């Protein structure tokens, strides 16, 4: 006897078009903000990328600032998803910490758009209290996710952190920021610098679990 399955009606065409338009707007805005910066990016330039009228834009967002926050929210979610998958299987590598540093460095160095958006959003947050509140909420969530991932990584290879995960994540982020901006226009060099620094940091952050065999 076949079991009945719940029927999910298809999304109405109007909703599908709206969802597609919203996604294209965020993508276009992401590109323009990364290329020109928040201040220089105009709504006209963003709307022209997808042939959208100003009226259609204002039916979704009240201002360029609101759009920028939405873009950063979306990019932060994408980053969290990438990081969640980044270290899958790394514990089985002959040099797990080296492999972890290498994977992270390559991912970070190849994502210039995220670095530019992050820098722009941080500058805007420094000047705007409303944006600062949202920035801190997103940054806190990203830091919490990163701290847990670092803790899970070192635990999987028989090590433990010598400090709380949140503090380890703060140090990790500081190293990423400093290393990535050393060579902003040379991704390969930036990745190698970051790889070496993250590998060294993992040595500082970890120790063998108590009772573990040497």
| CATH no. for 15-61 | 1.10.10.60
**Phi, psi for 63 (deg, rounded to 5):** -160, 170
Query: Tens digits of per-residue pLDDT, 122-158?
Result: 999 999 998 999 999 999 999 999 999 999 999 999 9
Q: Where are the domains of the chain?
A: 15-61, 65-208
Residue 93, SS3? Answer: coil
pTM of the model: 0.84
Query: Tens digits of per-residue pLDDT, 24-52?
Result: 999 999 999 999 999 999 999 999 999 99
Query: Tens digits of per-residue pLDDT, 46-55?
Result: 999 999 999 9
Over 50: is that where the pLDDT of 1 sits? no
Spell out the CATH class of 65-208: mainly alpha
**Fold match between 15-61 and 65-208?**
no
Residue 206: exposure state from Cβ atoms within 10 A (0-12, 13-18, ≥19): buried
């Amino acid at each position: 006897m076949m079991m009945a399955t719940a029927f999910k009606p298809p999304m109405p065409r109007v909703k599908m078009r709206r969802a597609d338009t919203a996604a294209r707007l965020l993508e276009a805005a992401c590109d323009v903000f990364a290329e020109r910066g928040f201040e220089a990016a105009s709504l006209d330039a963003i709307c022209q990328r997808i042939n959208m009228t100003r009226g259609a834009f204002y039916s979704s967002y009240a201002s360029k600032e609101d759009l920028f926050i939405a873009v950063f929210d979306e990019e932060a979610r994408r980053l969290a998803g990438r990081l969640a998958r980044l270290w899958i299987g790394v514990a089985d590598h002959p040099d797990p910490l080296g492999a972890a540093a290498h994977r992270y460095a390559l991912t970070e160095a190849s994502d210039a758009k995220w670095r530019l958006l992050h820098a722009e959003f941080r500058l805007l947050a420094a000047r705007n209290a409303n944006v600062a509140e949202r920035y801190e909420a997103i940054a806190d969530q990203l830091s919490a996710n990163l701290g847990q991932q670092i803790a899970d990584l070192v635990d999987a290879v028989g090590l433990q952190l010598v400090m709380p995960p949140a503090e380890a994540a703060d140090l990790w982020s500081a190293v990423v920021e400093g290393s990535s901006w050393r060579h902003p226009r040379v991704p390969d060099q930036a990745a190698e610098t970051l790889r070496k620094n993250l590998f060294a940091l993992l040595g500082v952050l970890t120790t063998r679990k108590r009772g573990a065999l040497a």
